[in-house]
């Protein structure tokens, strides 16, 4: 049985007639990506992986809020001033992000970028931010204040100091676009691992589905459960990734956009979906919404499932998930 670990991929030889597995690890979008394709030889695999890399770089140049030349940065610089005309691709991504915000009652919100710097999760933070500081930045958060013009494809942030960022959806979108490039180039099986955000297609050489192992949030080196997976995207958010400890209490890097306070009660959320960007966004949103509301929301969606592990080790799954616990 082959197992894919979220955040770590281990591959044996995949022999489908004369084909093998070829992988490359690269730093892209400020994260480690691993791109794997099934190809006839190393040279052809390298060309194919290069196509995926170029696509990811293209996406980064479009959506990066750190690149001063990007359209996203231009939108942010002109918040409260005037609308910015953008490429249709970026316009549609923002529109879909707003739709996910509506779906999750604001638990996912790309304007949360305005809160950057209030919380620090590098081990140096020893006390809560001042309430006044949180409230100051929260006044700039709110997807409702993004104004879209469908005719002219312009984006306007109503309030000065507002910012948008695609940190909660960008890796999923980039993985989807990279996968599309590879599929369009006749790659029949592969994996885009965007620092733990997985886009998978095809099967093992045996014809069996991939096996996906959910990381134990209480022991990052351990496996909590194993699930078969053949096609789609898998994203996990966990309180073990980045966190701070204040007065003996652990606080995750996943912050509620409505309160400015780290979400509590959940150790990890794993989303399975045919839609990579939705999986990326929901992994954070369900964490924020909580297990009851989050599970109910997922159960209303088509082709989307989840596994939630609460801070007491309890497992909560959506309707169509069957766990093989290790």
Average pLDDT over residues 179-192: 94
Question: Who has greater pLDDT, 31 or 246?
Answer: 31
Work out the pLDDT band at 14, boundaries 50, 70, 90.
very low
What is the pLDDT, as a whole number, of residue 128? 81
> For 55-90, what is each residue's pLDDT tens digit?
999 999 999 988 899 999 999 999 999 999 999 999
> For 252-279, what is each residue's pLDDT tens digit?
788 899 999 888 899 999 999 999 999 9
Structure tokens at 56: 């990811």
What is the pLDDT, as a whole number, of residue 174? 95
Question: 22 lies in which domain range?
Answer: 1-326
pLDDT at residue 2 tops 80: no
Contact 287, 294 (CB under 8 A): yes
Average pLDDT over residues 166-182: 94
What is the pLDDT, as a whole number, of residue 324? 53
Question: Who has greater pLDDT, 326 or 86?
Answer: 86
Contact 236, 270 (CB under 8 A): yes
pLDDT at residue 286 tops 70: yes
What is the pLDDT, as a whole number, of residue 29? 92
What is the pLDDT, as a whole number, of residue 42? 93
Work out the pLDDT band at 20, boundaries 50, 70, 90.
confident
The overall pTM is greater than 0.85:
yes
> For 81-101, what is each residue's pLDDT tens digit?
999 999 999 999 999 999 999
Task: Give CA–CA dist 227/249, Å, rounded.
Answer: 32
What is the pLDDT, as a whole number, of residue 97? 97
CATH of the domain at 21: 3.10.520.10
Q: What DSSP line would sit under 268-323, residue for residue? A: EEEEEES-HHHHHHHHHHHHHH-HHHHHHHHHTSTTEEEEEEETTS-EEE-TT---
What is the pLDDT, as a whole number, of residue 3? 43
Find all residues with CB under 8 Å of 70, minimum gap 6, and list them.
Answer: 61, 62, 63, 64
pLDDT at residue 8 tops 90: no
Q: Cα torsion at 284, 121, 53, 37 (round to 10°)? A: -70
Find all residues with CB under 8 Å of 181, minimum gap 6, and list them.
Answer: 51, 52, 55
What is the pLDDT, as a whole number, of residue 4? 45
**What's the structural domain count of the chain?**
1
């Amino acid at each position: 049985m082959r197992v894919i670990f979220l955040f770590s991929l281990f591959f044996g030889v995949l022999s489908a007639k004369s084909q093998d597995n070829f992988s490359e690890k690269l730093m892209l979008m400020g994260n480690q990506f691993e791109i794997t394709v099934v190809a006839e030889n190393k040279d052809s695999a390298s060309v194919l992986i290069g196509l995926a890399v170029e696509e990811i770089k293209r996406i980064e140049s479009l959506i990066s809020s750190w690149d001063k030349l990007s359209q996203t940065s231009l939108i942010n610089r002109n918040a409260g001033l005037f609308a910015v005309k953008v490429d249709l691709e970026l316009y549609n991504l923002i529109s879909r992000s707003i739709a996910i915000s509506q779906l999750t009652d604001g638990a996912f919100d790309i304007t949360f970028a305005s809160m950057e710097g209030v919380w620090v999760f590098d081990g140096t933070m020893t006390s809560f931010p001042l309430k006044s500081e949180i409230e100051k930045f929260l006044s700039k958060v709110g997807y409702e204040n993004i104004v879209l013009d469908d005719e002219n494809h312009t984006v306007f942030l109503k309030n000065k100091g507002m910012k948008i960022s695609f940190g909660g959806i960008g890796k999923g979108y980039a993985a989807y676009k990279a996968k599309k490039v590879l599929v369009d180039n006749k790659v029949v099986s592969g994996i885009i691992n965007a620092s733990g955000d997985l886009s998978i297609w095809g099967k093992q050489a045996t014809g069996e589905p991939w096996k996906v192992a959910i990381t134990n949030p209480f022991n990052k080196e351990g496996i909590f459960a194993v699930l078969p997976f053949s096609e789609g995207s898998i994203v996990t958010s966990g309180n073990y990734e980045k966190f701070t400890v204040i007065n003996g209490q652990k606080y995750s890097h996943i912050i509620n956009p409505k309160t400015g306070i780290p979400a509590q009660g959940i150790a990890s959320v794993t989303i399975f979906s045919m839609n990579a960007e939705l999986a990326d966004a929901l992994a954070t949103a369900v964490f924020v919404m909580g297990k009851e509301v989050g599970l109910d929301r997922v159960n209303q969606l088509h082709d989307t499932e989840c596994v939630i592990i609460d801070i007491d080790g309890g497992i909560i799954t959506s309707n169509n998930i069957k766990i093989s616990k290790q």
